[in-house]
Amino acid sequence: PLDNHVKIVEVGPRDGLQNEKAVIPLATKIDLIERLATTGLSTIEAGSFVSPKWVPQMNNSSEILQHLLERQIPSPGVQPLTFSFLTPNIKGFSTASAILAQHPDSFSTSPSESNDNIKPALEIAVFAAATESFSQKNLNCSIADSLRQFAPVIQAAKESLSAPLRVRAYISVVLGCPFEGYSSETPHRVAEIAASLLEMGADEIALGDTTGLGTAPRTRELLKCLQSAGIRSEDLSMHFHDTYGQALVNTAVALEHGIRTFDSSVGGLGGCPYSPGATGNVSTENMVYFLESIGMETGVDLDALADVGAWITEQVGKPNESAVGKAVIGA
């Protein structure tokens, strides 16, 4: 990929919706994913296979995955769309892989392996945390136990289907934890966890600023530390929540460190259920506008995206949190 090409991972259908209290109809979720798929986005996080007692809103992720495999949404780009699902344990992975096994010819496992633009590529994601408190709150176990739990998931993703599935591994609270704060030790802890996850076979580490506590100096310190630990920028992606409005500043710092993959959520939807007070991800509209303004290519049609942001925020009864989205549609 060219140095000015940026991959955006749209996490709205998962991170954006998981925290909504009112039940969002399955049809609305599917409509959202299909609308996003027409905007030029290449990767969409579409659901998560987690305990419905913990995150009830994601309970129909099976139906979503099934629908995406059966519906065969044409990709507007040259590469097929990638759909991503969270699977933090073997139970979640088994549910997802049973659906994949029923549709063996309906997906590819890598965007570059597909020779048509109809079969989606699929990937899964596991999620660790940089602090013990957050790990307990989000996964009900220690960091070490979570890594032990991910190892067989990653192994199964690589070995149990006809071809290896791509695996993302999140690390949450890398720039500050709502329970433990931030210290100069944090980047070293993140580097250790990232190295373990890569060692297990993860293809990408998504660095989560779960509560938006990240600042430019912290982002720089973290990325320098990861670089010194031998972790390559092409294996990293940044996942900024925008609670303090610093996400794009931190994005600029990450770009300077060679990172070219960024997560964002249409309309700025979202918040983590286990992170009190955290607001949504940086909005995809703001992200695309910023990146294009400095000469980066995202492949995303901003007008089409802004329409999706206006539509979904209205559907879920939330204000549109995207300044760019509102400006583009003239709201």
By CB under 6 A, name the binding residues for ligand HMG.
Answer: 15, 18, 48-51, 53-55, 86, 88-89, 91-92, 127, 138-140, 170, 172, 208, 210, 239, 241, 272-274
Cα 91 to the center of its chain, rounded Å? 20
> What is the secondary structure of 32-52 as a DSSP string?
HHHHHHTTT-SEEEEEE---T
Question: What does 48 interact with, of Mg ion, ligand HMG, none (CB < 5 to 8 A by kind)?
Answer: ligand HMG
Quote the DSSP letter at residue 28.
H
- Identify which of residues 141 and 296 has a Cβ nearer to ligand HMG in the complex: 141
Q: Closest residue to Mg ion, Cβ-based?
A: 15
CA count, 13 A, side-chain hemisphere, 1: 16
Q: 320 is written with which tokens?
A: 């549109």
Q: Looking at the annotation, which residues are catalytic?
A: 272
Query: Judged by CB under 5 A, which stretch of 8-16, 54-62, 190-198, 291-299 contacts Mg ion?
Result: 8-16
- Identify which of residues 15 and 203 has a Cβ nearer to Mg ion in the complex: 15
- Identify which of residues 33 and 173 has a Cβ nearer to ligand HMG in the complex: 173
Cα dihedral sign for 247, 249, 250, 254? positive
Consecutive H or E run containing 259: none
Q: How far is the C-alpha of 231 from the C-alpha of 101, rounded, in Å?
A: 33
Q: How far is the C-alpha of 196 from the C-alpha of 202, rounded, in Å?
A: 9
Interface pick for Mg ion out of 6, 8, 15, 82 (rule CB under 5 A)? 15
Residue at token pair 């999620």: 127
Question: What does 91 interact with, of Mg ion, ligand HMG, none (CB < 5 to 8 A by kind)?
Answer: ligand HMG
The CB-of-208 to Mg ion minimum distance in angstroms stands at 5
Q: Closest residue to ligand HMG, Cβ-based?
A: 208
Task: Rule CB under 5 A: say whether 209 interacts with Mg ion.
Answer: no
Neighbours of 201 (CB within 10 A): 17
Query: Judged by CB under 5 A, which stretch of 14-22, 67-75, 134-142, 304-312 contacts Mg ion?
Result: 14-22
First to last CA, the chain: 36
Question: What does 51 interact with, of ligand HMG, Mg ion, none (CB < 5 to 8 A by kind)?
Answer: ligand HMG
Residue 53 buriedness (CB in 10 A; 0-12 / 13-18 / 19+) = exposed
Query: Judged by CB under 5 A, which stretch of 13-21, 47-55, 83-91, 219-227 contacts Mg ion?
Result: 13-21
Number of H helices, E strands in the chain: 11, 8
| SS3 (DSSP) at 242 | coil
List helix spans (H) across the chain: 26-37, 61-71, 90-102, 132-139, 143-159, 186-200, 216-228, 247-256, 284-293, 302-315, 323-329
- Identify which of residues 79 and 160 has a Cβ nearer to ligand HMG in the complex: 160
- Identify which of residues 117 and 133 has a Cβ nearer to ligand HMG in the complex: 133
Question: What does 243 interact with, of Mg ion, ligand HMG, none (CB < 5 to 8 A by kind)?
Answer: none
The CB-of-120 to ligand HMG minimum distance in angstroms stands at 21
Question: What does 50 interact with, of ligand HMG, Mg ion, none (CB < 5 to 8 A by kind)?
Answer: ligand HMG
The CB-of-127 to Mg ion minimum distance in angstroms stands at 9
- Identify which of residues 73 and 96 has a Cβ nearer to ligand HMG in the complex: 96
Question: What does 127 interact with, of Mg ion, ligand HMG, none (CB < 5 to 8 A by kind)?
Answer: ligand HMG
The residue ranges that bind Mg ion (CB under 5 A) are 15
